[in-house]
Amino acid sequence: MITVWLYTLGSVLLISIISLVGIFTLSLKMEKLQKMLIYMISFAAGALLGDAFIHLLPEVFAERGFGVEISLYVLLGVAGSFVMEKIIHWRHCHHPTCKDHPHPYAKMNLFGDLVHNLIDGVIIGAAYLVSIPVGVATTLAVLFHEVPQEIGDFGILIHGGYSRKKALLLNFGIALSAVLGAIVTLLIGVHIEGITHFLIPFAAGTFIYIATADLIPELHKEVAIKRSLLQFFWFMMGILVMLSLLLIEIPGHSHGPDYDYETHAEYSHVD
């Protein structure tokens, strides 16, 4: 279990550090950044769907078998994401003088990110409770999704009147909420039997929602053939990266016949 804690905390800290990605965009012109973002979003959409269908759901089905219960958990993840996004969308200002009052918008954006990052931490913690390889795959999927989002968040904070330094610090501080989400999940997970059987399909539903409801519609705004083909290329690359992770075996963590799914440890191995 110590190994699970180390991997989980290392992963959520890495995800939190991604919030500082805005520092690398300071020297880029907005036009160039926008061109890069659309392909990053394509890759992220593929990675999220790949993780859901190649790693998360197969793990649950292997343990629990196919059943309506798992499907309901996936749908609950989709429904929960829908509700959360509705709440977050309240942060948008629709008043004609919105540009004259940027600060409330930026503060609500921080609140939305706080909720989002907490859920990211829960998802990563739950994935590592299943196995190290599934946790690694999920971390990568979250990371690919976070990069374009964090760049966008950084831009919102700058637009909201914050200095670049303060925007970076605020973004990083909010991102650390993922650590809290992961710690709570690990603490609860070891005491509640079968919690991963709910959290993993729920996480898969969340990933499916983000990819299909948020990212892919954004990609369809681009209709130029060349750029659309490049989008599809990067979308498939995201899926292929998730598929390639199946070939990676981490020593001491492959799920052989002696693996105990309740204690998440092999009988012959003691952390």
Q: Which residue has the higher pLDDT, 183 or 107?
A: 183
**So what's the pLDDT on residue 183?**
94
Task: Give yes or no for residue 250 having a pLDDT over 70.
Answer: no
Please list, in sequence order, all residues whose beta carbon lies within 8 angstroms of the beta carbon of residue 3, skipping any fewer than 6 positions away: 132, 253, 271
Say yes or no to pLDDT of 154 above 50.
yes
DSSP string, 142-155: HHHHHHHHHHHHHH
**pLDDT tier for residue 150 given thresholds of 50, 70 and 90:** confident
* Of 60, 233, 211, 55, the residue nearest 148 (C-alpha): 211
Predicted local confidence at residue 110, as pLDDT? 74
- Cα–Cα distances (Å) from 206 to 52, 72, 115, 185, 194, in that order, read 9, 13, 13, 16, 19
The amino acid present at 204, given as its one-letter code, is A
Q: For the residues 186-212, what does the mean pLDDT come to?
A: 83
Give the pLDDT mean for 85-93.
65
**CA Rg, the chain, in Å?**
19
Q: What is the pLDDT of residues 110-135, one digit of tens each?
A: 766 787 788 889 889 988 988 898 89
The mean pLDDT value for 86-95 works out to 59
Q: Is 215 helix (H, G, I), strand (E, B) or coil?
A: helix
Stretch 29-45: mean pLDDT, rounded?
A: 77
